Amino acid sequence: MGKNIDVGIGLSSQADAYKAGAEAASKSLASLKGKTPILSYVFFAGDYDPNTLSAGLKAILNKSEFVGGSADAVYCDETMLRKGVLVVSIHSDYLHVGVASMDNISKDPYTAARKTITDALNKLSIDKYVDPYLLFTRMKKANVKWLVKLPSFFVTVFTRGMKLPQMADETKILRGITDEIGFNVPIWGGSFGTALEKLFEGKPYEIYLLHSGKVLKDGMILIFNTCSLVYGQSLSHGAKRTEHFGYISGVAGNGYVITSISQKNPIDWYCDNLKLSKEEFKKNPMVITQKYPLGIPDSYGGFTIRAGGVPTPDETSLAFTAPFIEGWPIYLMDSSPSNFSKAPEQVAKDIRNTNMQQKPSVVLGALCASRRVVLGDSGMLDELKQLKKEFKGTPVTGFSCFTEIGARVGAPPSVQHEAVNILTLYDMLLHEIKE
């Protein structure tokens, strides 16, 4: 319990979907000591029936809004569950949210994103007396730099991850949002999914999103947050570029399929650079292209990662879950555990550099499911411990996602793979930031 924000966390590993949802929600609300949440985040992993789970959540959270979806894993305070339900409830007089959702977005994800973010803005509830006063106080007391660097608003994005034959289209969704509200609004979130092994092994699966009793299968949830609380966000994958360089010389399928790299068959290009035979590559192509993803240089000295390439049936091309553009330069990246292990420290350092040295009230994480594949379950637990240490003992809560949407502080939002993507909220008001 804090002065400006209260956070409740509930975790359940019950096998029954209704009981798991109700138990996690009850634990979360109990921590708030009778206060009604502004919003509850719900993440679940395992083969729960989503409608039954939603009913259990609704029975407890019926007086407040909740959003979330299915994941490869959920985690809380150094605990990671492959089957379980996590509820994180937030109460604050200094946070207002407008929440909107839409199903069947794959028909036109760009237009769906524009409409949904507009709906979220229209649903935003602002105190016409308190909020203008807080903004005035911030203008009067805070350093002008922080007015620019840390705006009084941010967007949360949850969407469906890849489920063939439909791509997740995160880049189109991000473009739809930014075309509506601009690139200067911080954006944090990720794509929901399922156990990553199902994707690797070609097993059937569904991806579910939950919004206050609604169950979406091809959905998107957007939250526009106006915030007088100090918050932080950053994203880092830790992958290091190798000396192997090329360029995208051919694409198909709206950029999702690479037909050639530097005028070579992309599989041959991979094999040549990694000194692998084609037979070795074909045994575990998704694992290899996650350990050695493609990195697109950005304008800030970093790289946007594209991982998990799948050979087409004729073995002439590689299909990815996010698009490429012909002419892009690319590096072969090294996503070994030794490089991955640097991401938590980098994310925490970025957030501390927003002048926030104190302990956050809540840490929300969207960590790529590929990190679990590369690091293993024990490596992921070590990473959660490291994150908790970096954030001064605050439990890290969240989900393993298919794709991360976010940015380092001050940079435009992007669609990433293999990243640690963190959002923090503090028991401190924006006008209290000291230079």
DSSP for 257-274 reads EEEEETTB-HHHHHHHHH
For residue 263, count CB atoms less than 10 angstroms from its CB and return exposed for 0-12, middle for 13-18, buried for 19 or more: exposed
Mean pLDDT of 181-206: 90
Q: Which residues pair with 406 in a beta bridge?
A: 414
Instruction: Supply the pLDDT for residue 47.
Output: 94
Answer yes or no: is pLDDT of 133 > 80. no
Answer yes or no: is pLDDT of 142 > 80. no
Instruction: Supply the pLDDT for residue 138.
Output: 66
Q: Where are the beta strands (DSSP E) in 143-216?
A: 153-160, 187-192, 209-211, 214-216
Question: Whole-angstrom Cα distance, residue 54 to residue 277?
Answer: 48
- Choose the weakest-confidence range: 152-156, 232-236, 280-284, 351-355: 351-355
For residue 107, count CB atoms less than 10 angstroms from its CB and return exposed for 0-12, middle for 13-18, buried for 19 or more: exposed
Residues 219 and 304 grouped into a single domain: no
Residue 79 included in any domain: yes
Question: Whole-angstrom Cα distance, residue 313 to residue 280?
Answer: 16
Q: Where are the beta strands (DSSP E) in 283-361?
A: 294-297, 303-306, 310-311, 318-319, 329-334
Instruction: Supply the pLDDT for residue 125.
Output: 79
Residue type, 207: I
The tokens for 80 are 């990671």
Question: Whole-angstrom Cα distance, residue 135 to residue 147?
Answer: 10
Last residue of a domain, one of 302, 334, 366: 334
Residue type, 142: A
Residue with tokens 């030794």: 338
Mean pLDDT of 116-145: 75
- Name the percent of the chain lying above pLDDT 70: 94
**Do 224 and 96 touch, CB atoms closer than 8 A?**
no
Residues 304 and 368 grouped into a single domain: no
Instruction: Supply the pLDDT for residue 183.
Output: 84
Residues 383 and 261 grouped into a single domain: no
Residues 55 and 103 grouped into a single domain: yes
Residue 25 included in any domain: yes
Question: Whole-angstrom Cα distance, residue 223 to residue 141?
Answer: 28
Q: Which residues pair with 147 in a beta bridge?
A: none
Q: Which residues pair with 306 in a beta bridge?
A: 294
pLDDT band at 308 (very low <50, low <70, confident <90, very high): confident
Mean pLDDT of 306-335: 92
Residue 408 included in any domain: yes
Residue type, 419: A
Residues 143 and 16 grouped into a single domain: yes
Last residue of a domain, one of 316, 334, 352: 334
Residues 190 and 176 grouped into a single domain: yes
Instruction: Supply the pLDDT for residue 338.
Output: 92
DSSP string, 135-151: HHHHHHHS-HHHHHHS-
Mean pLDDT of 298-319: 89
**Of 82 and 164, the one with more pLDDT:** 82
Question: Whole-angstrom Cα distance, residue 206 to residue 194?
Answer: 7
Give the β-pairing of 396-401 and 362-368: parallel
Residues 283 and 352 grouped into a single domain: no
Instruction: Supply the pLDDT for residue 141.
Output: 65
Residues 148 and 210 grouped into a single domain: yes
Model pTM?
0.93
Range of the domain at 180: 6-237+341-432
Residue 1 included in any domain: no
**Do 283 and 274 touch, CB atoms closer than 8 A?**
no
Closest CA to 106 of 224, 196, 217: 217
Mean pLDDT of 36-45: 97
Residues 317 and 357 grouped into a single domain: no
Question: Whole-angstrom Cα distance, residue 224 to residue 222?
Answer: 7
Residues 6+ away with beta carbon under 8 Å from 377? 80
Residue 351 included in any domain: yes
Last residue of a domain, one of 298, 313, 334: 334
Question: Whole-angstrom Cα distance, residue 390 to residue 407?
Answer: 19
Residues 6+ away with beta carbon under 8 Å from 243? none
For residue 259, count CB atoms less than 10 angstroms from its CB and return exposed for 0-12, middle for 13-18, buried for 19 or more: middle
Residues 101 and 210 grouped into a single domain: yes
Question: Whole-angstrom Cα distance, residue 239 to residue 303?
Answer: 9
Mean pLDDT of 322-349: 94
pLDDT band at 374 (very low <50, low <70, confident <90, very high): confident
**pLDDT digit string, tens, across residues 280-290:** 999 889 889 99
- Choose the weakest-confidence range: 77-81, 131-135, 219-223, 321-325: 131-135
Question: Whole-angstrom Cα distance, residue 118 to residue 245?
Answer: 41
- Choose the weakest-confidence range: 114-128, 131-145, 242-256: 131-145
Residue 146 included in any domain: yes
Residues 345 and 380 grouped into a single domain: yes
Residues 89 and 117 grouped into a single domain: yes
Q: Which residues pair with 66 in a beta bridge?
A: 40
Residue 167 included in any domain: yes
Alpha carbon distances (Å) from 403 to 71, 95, 230, 320, 390: 11, 26, 26, 12, 23
**Of 160 and 410, the one with more pLDDT:** 160
Residue with tokens 């106080």: 137
Across 279-288, 323-332, 370-379, which has the greatest mean pLDDT? 323-332
- Give yes or no for a cis peptide into 266 (omega within 30° of 0): no
**pLDDT digit string, tens, across residues 264-279:** 999 999 999 999 999 9
Answer yes or no: is pLDDT of 54 > 90. yes
Answer yes or no: is pLDDT of 200 > 90. no
Domain count, the chain: 2
